[in-house]
Structure 1
Amino acid sequence: MVEWLINRGARRLVLLNRDVADGAKQERLEALRRLGAEIAAHAVDIADQVGVERILGDLSEAGHQLGGIIHTAGVVQDATLGSIKEASELEHALRAKLQGTLILDNASRRFSPDFFVCFSSVSALLGMKGQAAYVAANAAMNRIVEGRNAEGLPGVSIEWGPWAETGMASGLDERLRKRLTDFGLLAIRNREALERLESLCASTGTLTAAPILWRRFCKKQYGQTPAWLTPLSNVQKNPQAANDDEATDPLARLFGPVAPSERSQAIESFLRGEVARVLGIADPDCLPMDEALNQMGFDSLATIEFRNELAKTGIKVSLQKLVMGASIAEIAADTETQVTAAVGGDADGEAVPTAPFLADSAQGYDKSAVIIPRPKPDAPIRLIGFPYAGGGPLVFQRWIDRMPDHIEFGILQMPGRSARLEEGFWMRMEDMVDGIVPEMLPFLKEKPFAFLGFCYGGVQAFEIAQRVRRDHGLEPEHFFVAGGRSPQIYNNDQFAIDVQQFNHETGKSEHELDESAFVEMLKEVNFANNKALFEDPEMRAMMLPIIQADYEINNAYRYGSHPPLDAPITAIGGRIDPYVTGDHIIGWKEHTTKQFKAHFCAGDHFFMEHQIELLTRIVIENLQPVVQRLAAEGERQLAG
């Protein structure tokens, strides 16, 4: 939840929890602080009125405005209604939900927060056997929020179903999980829940967010469908629709005539054909089922084309999932669930909206800091590519097959990119270096390495190279940069020039621009993959915050002072690059004690997208002496 808030712009957060001293929690807090937020954690019970009011008072005295409240605390207490003899037996469950919500409501009124979000439970709507106290606590929370609304105050109470990966339900054993599923209460995955939360934050009243199989629930809970649930339990797919010539569901028309026993194979064959068409491959059967599409040649435009073509057939696939690394096999499994819903449903005659308590498939993606698309254990050197601002591993997709056997190619995968899309990203260079270096170390210690940085990735690679040399005694064998300013150019005078040159009308740096102005600026510099970013709303919503965050790091960075690298530096610039001039490229000469080379080629700031042949040739030629030296050293070691 904290990471979600930071990713949406929160820069000062106050956390209240009964236990903040736990080592694992402290480590997590430090990691979150490195994302660029100021986080204060207080050990206080939310039902402690004095403690809560003291903390809010301290915020007020410090001049801070309370922007909003999200109340997630809750305690389960097993008890049936008949077993409760004394009011005190309800207290444990009521403290967080009833007392805690009342205290937050009263204490926050003088601050006029913009939002007041409470995490209630679907149990308040449906009831839950053996959880009388918990049901009462959530119902009380709902009423408090509705009371706020009656007074014209913001507030929403969300009756959540069980979350699959976090929260109370995630810790249930398999028996209890199965019991919930048998009752028709399915888990909502974290990503889906956060998407719902974003859409509900500004709402009012009591709202429910829970995937429920209503007919199954009614059968288990009541034996028959009560009148008040009849409209919901009657919403189901017509099992005969797939055989009806007038069926309007394209999935039913496409796969309905296929026998259930042959459906999986038919779906896989269809998807293989679509992938082959997008990639221009003649033989779909040669495509691997388990390899990520973004490792098979899908760039952002191909990804959007694939999603759009599937949408025409009724197949819904998340663009985020494709960007993170979905395979044909994974898409086929999701498609089969959709087809089942379209042509009939499960044994109860209902379409299953989501699989119960399945871990998000994204957990299986490669979330390493360095991706090695084609491992070459015998290669003597590893070249690691650093993408430009907002870029991920796809930036270097066309480099993978161009590397010879003696160069193993790795690609930096920062949080917020590709398989790590759901992770928070950094806003300051120092925080980035602090966070990413420990993740990169295993890849730097395995074998000699070289760095290649595109644009902002150049100075990023430089700061990481300096840190690993200082703290770990490791240094790249060669340092390449394309379209990147030398570090000393990052100073206040140059920053003022940039604002004047590129944002004269607003007087703001790029990351401070509103969305429309920021997009226009990217268009002016011919930002790579601009068609995918500018023309697709889903891609734009996903990627724009990451690009803005990288621009913020770039604009806030100021070079201090480092000793020059003991590695040759090769710098390449574009002849008509308005952002990185010849002086900026030649400036890299100051940062090496070894040989320096400069090359200039046709193109603007993103020339690296169109000069792959030239760039790969420069890299391979300059690494050749290194490879020969390393091979000779290896032979001497064997001889010795």
Structure 2
Amino acid sequence: MPIAGVFQLAMVLKDLPILQISYDDWNIVQNPKVKGTWNLHEALSGIDLEFFILFGSQSALYGMPGQASYAAANAFLDSFVQYRQSLNLPCSVIDIGAMEGVGYVSNVPSTLGLFRDLGAGFLQEQDLMDAVRISITKSLSSETPSGPRCGYTSLSQISTGLKTSKLMSDPTNRTTWKRDIRMSLYRQLESTEKLCTDSNDGGLRALLNSASTNPDLLYDPDSIALVTAAIGRTICGFTLYPEDDLDVNTTLLTAMGIDSLVSIEIRNWWRRTLGVDVSVLDVVNGGTIERLGRVAIKQLREKYPVKQSIESSRNGVAQKDTQRINLVDEFSSYMSAPWNLQGFLDHPT
């Protein structure tokens, strides 16, 4: 059976500070992508392929701390596309970002948590499949824009997942490419989106921004209602359920058309907007919007714990009352004790 095309997905990670990378450490990371790709190129040189797709990484675009060797290996893949196409051979590369649900990052909790803390946006499996389809059509060399202002442009190099779950202006956003001048357009698009969504989510954004410094707000009934209403409004948007017919306390999620696919969209919105995680199962089994609102508030309270909660405040009052009662007992005991005034005067200490 003839070979139609190639998918090169080989990868080895060994993150180290650049000054601690030995020659062997360097080769361990380089060989799968550099030598592996060259071996495939040589072995299939006489075969008429329809596509030759290399799976790279966004580390080749902007780098990641501790990944100098990995970034170099993926930069080789980006350049190899030019080389093969100069020989009129098909080749394309996908520089993949952090993926959720499948792949290396999703299987290593510490790495997954690191990306979330940085504010990275996550790809879903379908996003990668879409990129593969585009890459197949872009494997063959095609004319690229040229001119003094264009520089080099490769239509066969695709980067997917270059996004963030937090606003670029958010001080907790620590994505590596945040201050890259090439991302200035992203900032403009974000500003436009913000203008479009502020009218609906302005109150929720303000609450979340304030909760980090004043967690007591999350115990305010108005705040609970605000979060619940935002969840309801979002789900209505996903399911096209009329907002006028929604009762957050009684309308069942199943009646709104919530299924596993919609639950994934809700989970993505939940993480992106609220900054906390919720499982698809929790969404499906939520029952009503009001219950989902309680889940969200509970998660936000855990994310922004108060220094002295309402219960601890009450405990503090109780402790003060206990101390006051103890003092009264001590004073009563003191007043009822027999005095030896002459002894005290003779020996005051």
Q: Which runs of 5+ in 2 are unaligned?
A: 140-155, 208-222, 286-349
What is the match of residue 163 of structure 2?
212
Q: Map residues 308-319 of structure 1 onto 2, 5 A cutoff.
A: none
Q: Map residues 350-389 of structure 1 onto 2, 5 A cutoff.
A: 361=280
What is the match of residue 57 of structure 2?
121
Residue 187 of structure 2 corresponds to residue 236 of structure 1: no
Q: Which runs of 5+ in 1 are unaligned?
A: 1-63, 242-248, 295-321, 341-345, 347-354, 367-640
Q: Is the 8 A contact 2:98 2:121 kept in 1?
A: yes
Residue 69 of structure 2 corresponds to residue 133 of structure 1: yes
What is the match of residue 122 of structure 2?
187
- AA aligned to 2:104 is M
1:361 and 1:71 mapped to 2: Cα distance? 32
In the TM superposition, residue 70 of structure 1 has moved relative to its aligned partner by 0.9
What is the match of residue 228 of structure 2?
265
In the TM superposition, residue 154 of structure 1 has moved relative to its aligned partner by 1.5
Structure 1 residues 293 and 198, CA, compared in 2 at 3 Å: closer, same or farther?
farther
- TM-score, normalised relative to structure 2: 0.56
Q: Is the 8 A contact 1:267 1:336 kept in 2?
A: no
Structure 2 residue matching 1:111: 3-state secondary structure: coil
Q: Is the 8 A contact 2:7 2:53 kept in 1?
A: yes
- Count residues with an aligned counterpart: 247
Residue 12 of structure 2 corresponds to residue 75 of structure 1: yes
Work out which of the residue numbers 61, 74, 84 in structure 1 matches 2:21.
84
- AA aligned to 2:31 is R
Structure 1 residues 283 and 276, CA, compared in 2 at 3 Å: closer, same or farther?
farther
Q: Is the 8 A contact 1:219 1:225 kept in 2?
A: no
In the TM superposition, residue 272 of structure 1 has moved relative to its aligned partner by 6.2
Query: Which moved further from structure 2: 92-101 or 226-235?
Result: 226-235
2:8 and 2:177 mapped to 1: Cα distance? 35
In the TM superposition, residue 161 of structure 1 has moved relative to its aligned partner by 0.8
In the TM superposition, residue 100 of structure 1 has moved relative to its aligned partner by 0.7
- TM-score, normalised relative to structure 1: 0.33
Structure 1 residues 362 and 67, CA, compared in 2 at 3 Å: closer, same or farther?
farther
Structure 2 residue matching 1:113: 3-state secondary structure: coil
In the TM superposition, residue 82 of structure 1 has moved relative to its aligned partner by 1.7
In the TM superposition, residue 133 of structure 1 has moved relative to its aligned partner by 1.6
Work out which of the residue numbers 173, 187, 201 in structure 1 matches 2:109.
173
Q: Is the 8 A contact 1:164 1:359 kept in 2?
A: no
Structure 1 residues 112 and 167, CA, compared in 2 at 3 Å: closer, same or farther?
same
2:249 and 2:120 mapped to 1: Cα distance? 39
Superposed CA deviations along residues 271-318 of structure 1, whole A, max 9, x for unmatched, are 56987659x9897853213x3755xxxxxxxxxxxxxxxxxxxxxxxx
Work out which of the residue numbers 45, 56, 64 in structure 2 matches 1:109.
45
In the TM superposition, residue 115 of structure 1 has moved relative to its aligned partner by 1.0
Work out which of the residue numbers 18, 35, 51 in structure 2 matches 1:99.
35
- AA aligned to 1:178 is G
- AA aligned to 1:80 is P
1:237 and 1:117 mapped to 2: Cα distance? 35
1:194 and 1:95 mapped to 2: Cα distance? 26
- AA aligned to 1:161 is G
Structure 2 residue matching 1:78: 3-state secondary structure: coil
1:282 and 1:137 mapped to 2: Cα distance? 53
Higher relative contact order (CA 8 A, sep 6+): 2
- AA aligned to 1:75 is V
Percent of pairs identical after alignment? 19
- AA aligned to 2:227 is S
What is the match of residue 408 of structure 1?
none
Superposed CA deviations along residues 533-554 of structure 1, whole A, max 9, x for unmatched, are xxxxxxxxxxxxxxxxxxxxxx
Structure 2 residue matching 1:110: 3-state secondary structure: coil
Q: Is the 8 A contact 2:84 2:90 kept in 1?
A: yes
1:73 and 1:363 mapped to 2: Cα distance? 35
1:363 and 1:96 mapped to 2: Cα distance? 40
Superposed CA deviations along residues 77-122 of structure 1, whole A, max 9, x for unmatched, are 2233222343x33221112100111111122231111111111011
1 or 2, which has the higher strand percentage?
Answer: 1
Structure 1 residue matching 2:38: 3-state secondary structure: helix
Structure 1 residues 325 and 232, CA, compared in 2 at 3 Å: closer, same or farther?
closer
Residue 133 of structure 2 corresponds to residue 198 of structure 1: yes
In the TM superposition, residue 199 of structure 1 has moved relative to its aligned partner by 3.0
What is the match of residue 252 of structure 2?
288
Structure 2 residue matching 1:79: 3-state secondary structure: coil
1 or 2, which has the higher helix percentage?
Answer: 2
Please say which structure displays the higher CA radius of gyration.
2
Structure 1 residues 200 and 323, CA, compared in 2 at 3 Å: closer, same or farther?
farther
- AA aligned to 1:288 is L
Superposition RMSD in Å: 4.3
What is the match of residue 149 of structure 1?
85
What is the match of residue 179 of structure 2?
225
Q: Is the 8 A contact 2:119 2:175 kept in 1?
A: no
